[in-house]
């Protein structure tokens, strides 16, 4: 039985990045052998195990064969005769297809070390085209490794442009695409993710963005101030032709879609003329009185987005934030005013008090 360190750990060590986790491949062994050594199986579909002491993942070497469309359409072959070279060949990029022995010797059958030295993200073999999810992984690596000087090789860009069909892309799980997108959002260069997908001519399958150049410019500005994936995604999605449709298509988690929805309400609020009552209605739509911090975040981010676009404003974001401050400061006073009122009268009185605060704040400023 031979054990090799593989994948991201080897790649990141060679690049000079922090190693976050270690994955191992076992060659010349069986599931029964590992169970006998007290390894714990953690996946019912694949022979992947946790080491009894380190809790790191160990997988049996495998080969794969494409049997149906999509990134799940593979038949896997687990056999003690599978070599480390065969296992590495099924991997996506040469930088991820390097194995390391206990003595430090590298197994590098696909020139991954050379590509790392040349700062290239390059596919291993023609098998790359059997899994359309790899296009999104490629874009994500482009985003996360750009700060180290990496770029996607011309050969891989060409392959992505010509060898994937519409049906293959549409067979992808939206959740898996979103996982890659979310990882790119928290990288130093999320704009590179969308740039690579655009070059690969597959951006439109999951993102209905108006103008890719506008998206890239927007991200470059927004990422300096907003480091969270929720805020960055809301900024990107503000440039979608249909924001709600994009969120539904990608099955985006609620915390992301909620901020996107609030951004859209803020855009309407800031760019159209509004009465005091309409402002109060917008605050309710943004759940300001239940989630004030999230609504304020939407106002601030929306203000920055509209400023970057050079949009004409009917209501200044700074004024709206001032109104929010005054409403927050008046909570105790408002509650005191409502204390002795009948329940059926409280709602109209509450609206009246809030409208007075909005009116007074707008008049004073």
Quick one: three-class SS letters along 60-111? ECEEEEECCCCCCCEEEEECCCCCHHHHHHCCCEHHHCCEECCCCCEECCCC
User: What is the distance between the alpha carbons of residues 179 and 252, in angstroms, rounded to a whole number?
Assistant: 9
pLDDT, tens only, 83-92: 999 999 999 9
Q: Is 299 left (phi over 0), alpha (psi -120 to 50) or beta?
A: alpha
Is the full-model pTM beyond 0.85? yes
From residue 262, alpha-carbon distances to 257, 286, 303 in Å are: 9, 5, 12
Model confidence at 22: pLDDT above 70: yes
Model confidence at 63: pLDDT above 80: yes
Give the pLDDT score at 179.
96
Model confidence at 229: pLDDT above 70: yes
Give the pLDDT score at 340.
86
Model confidence at 266: pLDDT above 90: yes
Class of domain 1-120: alpha beta
Give the pLDDT score at 71.
61
User: What is the distance between the alpha carbons of residues 108 and 326, in angstroms, rounded to a whole number?
Assistant: 64
Q: Which of 257, 255, 268, 260 is nearest to 317 (CA)?
A: 268
Model confidence at 116: pLDDT above 80: yes
Give the pLDDT score at 69.
66
What whole-number percentage of the chain has pLDDT above 90?
Answer: 85
Read off the pLDDT of each residue in 41-50 and give the average, rounded to a whole number.
88
Confidence of residue 43 (pLDDT cuts 50, 70, 90): confident
Output the average pLDDT for the chain.
94
Question: By mean pLDDT, which of 42-46, 125-129, 313-317 is the weakest?
Answer: 42-46
Model confidence at 18: pLDDT above 70: yes
pLDDT, tens only, 318-341: 999 999 999 999 999 999 999 888
Give the pLDDT score at 67.
67
Tokens of 317: 């974001």
Read off the pLDDT of each residue in 165-173 and give the average, rounded to a whole number.
88
Give the pLDDT score at 207.
93
CB-facing half-sphere around the CA of 240: CA atoms within 13 A? 27
Confidence of residue 74 (pLDDT cuts 50, 70, 90): confident
Three-state DSSP class for 209?
strand
Three-state DSSP class for 237?
helix
Tokens of 69: 């469309």
Hey, which residues does 120 pair with through a beta bridge? Answer: 151
Neighbours of 159 (CB within 10 A): 20
User: What is the distance between the alpha carbons of residues 85 and 65, in angstroms, rounded to a whole number?
Assistant: 16
Sign of CA dihedral 123, 126, 131, 136: positive
Give the pLDDT score at 365.
62
Read off the pLDDT of each residue in 287-296 and give the average, rounded to a whole number.
96
Read off the pLDDT of each residue in 195-218 and give the average, rounded to a whole number.
94
From residue 341, alpha-carbon distances to 254, 349, 357 in Å are: 37, 9, 20
**Extents of the domains making up the chain:** 1-120
Is 260:249 a contact under the CB 8 Å cutoff?
A: no
Tokens of 102: 């206990």
Three-state DSSP class for 306?
helix
Is 308:221 a contact under the CB 8 Å cutoff?
A: yes
Model confidence at 181: pLDDT above 70: yes
CA dihedral 124, 126, 128, 131 (to 10 degrees): -160
User: What is the distance between the alpha carbons of residues 133 and 250, in angstroms, rounded to a whole number?
Assistant: 14
Read off the pLDDT of each residue in 199-213 and give the average, rounded to a whole number.
92
Hey, which residues does 88 pair with through a beta bridge? Answer: none
User: What is the distance between the alpha carbons of residues 209 and 82, in angstroms, rounded to a whole number?
Assistant: 44
Model confidence at 309: pLDDT above 80: yes
Is 280:295 a contact under the CB 8 Å cutoff?
A: no
Model confidence at 1: pLDDT above 80: yes
Give the pLDDT score at 189.
98
Model confidence at 13: pLDDT above 70: yes
Confidence of residue 163 (pLDDT cuts 50, 70, 90): confident
């Amino acid at each position: 039985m031979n054990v090799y360190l593989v994948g991201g750990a080897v790649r990141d060590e060679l690049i000079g990045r922090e190693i976050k986790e270690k994955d191992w491949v076992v060659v010349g062994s069986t599931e029964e052998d590992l169970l006998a050594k007290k390894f714990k199986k953690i996946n019912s579909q694949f022979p992947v195990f946790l080491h009894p002491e380190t809790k790191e993942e160990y997988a049996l070497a495998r080969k794969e064969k494409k049997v149906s469309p999509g990134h799940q359409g593979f038949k896997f072959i687990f056999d003690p005769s599978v070599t480390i070279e065969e296992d590495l060949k099924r991997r996506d990029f040469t930088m991820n297809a390097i194995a390391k022995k206990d003595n430090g010797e590298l197994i590098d059958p696909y020139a991954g070390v050379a590509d790392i030295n040349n700062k290239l993200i390059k596919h291993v073999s023609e098998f790359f085209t059997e899994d359309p999810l790899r296009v999104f992984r490629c874009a994500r690596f482009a985003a996360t490794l750009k700060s180290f000087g990496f770029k996607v090789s011309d050969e891989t860009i060409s392959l992505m442009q010509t060898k994937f069909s519409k049906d293959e892309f549409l067979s992808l799980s939206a959740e898996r695409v979103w996982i890659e997108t979310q990882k790119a959002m928290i990288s130093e260069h999320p704009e590179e993710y969308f740039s690579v997908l655009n070059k690969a001519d597959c951006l439109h399958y999951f993102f209905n963005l108006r103008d890719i150049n506008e998206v890239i410019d927007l991200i470059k500005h927004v990422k300096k101030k907003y480091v969270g994936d929720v805020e960055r995604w809301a900024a990107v999605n503000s440039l979608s032709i249909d924001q709600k449709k994009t969120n539904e298509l990608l099955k985006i988690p609620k915390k992301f879609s909620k901020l996107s929805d609030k951004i859209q309400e803020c855009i309407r609020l800031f760019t159209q003329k509004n009465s005091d009552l309409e402002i109060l209605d917008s605050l309710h739509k943004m759940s300001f009185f239940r989630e004030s911090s999230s609504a304020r975040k939407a106002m601030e981010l929306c203000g920055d987005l509209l400023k970057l676009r050079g949009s004409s404003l009917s209501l200044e974001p700074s004024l709206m934030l001032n109104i929010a401050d005054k409403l927050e400061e008046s909570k105790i006073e408002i509650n005191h005013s409502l204390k002795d009122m009948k329940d059926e009268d409280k709602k109209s009185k509450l609206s009246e008090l809030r409208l007075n605060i909005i009116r007074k704040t707008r008049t004073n400023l």
